[in-house]
Amino acid sequence: MGIFKNFLSYNEDESKQVLKLMYHQDGGHGWIEVPKFIATWLELNGKISNYSYEDNESYFLEEDCDAGVLFNSIPDGVTLECENVYYDGMCYIRDLPRVHS
């Protein structure tokens, strides 16, 4: 599993792999954080709109549009789990550069 070990594991009965990501949200919006190497594995590159944000290591997929692209890219046998992180006030993600497809 190598670099995936912090993000991809098996469920309790080892019948499915679980992809663990972070879901960031503030009072107005939310984003799923997808490390860029996972986005490459899921073939998301070029499919993410400019409603989403990025930094050097991750994409922050906008919940209303690009999260659906993520959901549709998850392979059979893999389940997505998101850990929720809530920010009072505006989330720092709003200050990141937008994705340029």
Q: Does the pLDDT value for residue 8 go beyond 70? A: no
pLDDT reported for residue 12: 66
> Which residue segments constitute the domains of the chain, with CATH numbers given?
2-95 (3.30.780)
Q: Which residue has the tokens 């200050």?
A: 95
The Cα–Cα gap between 68 and 39 comes to: 13
Q: Which residue has the tokens 């930094």?
A: 55
Mean pLDDT within 78-99: 95
The Cα–Cα gap between 99 and 80 comes to: 22
| pTM of the predicted model as reported, rounded to 2 decimal places | 0.86
Q: Does the pLDDT value for residue 1 go beyond 50? A: no
The Cα–Cα gap between 96 and 55 comes to: 7
Indicate the pairing of strand 78-86 with strand 17-25: parallel
Q: What is the pLDDT of residues 11-64, one digit of tens each?
A: 566 667 888 999 999 999 999 999 999 999 999 989 999 999 999 999 999 999
In DSSP terms, which residues pair with 35 in a beta bridge? 58
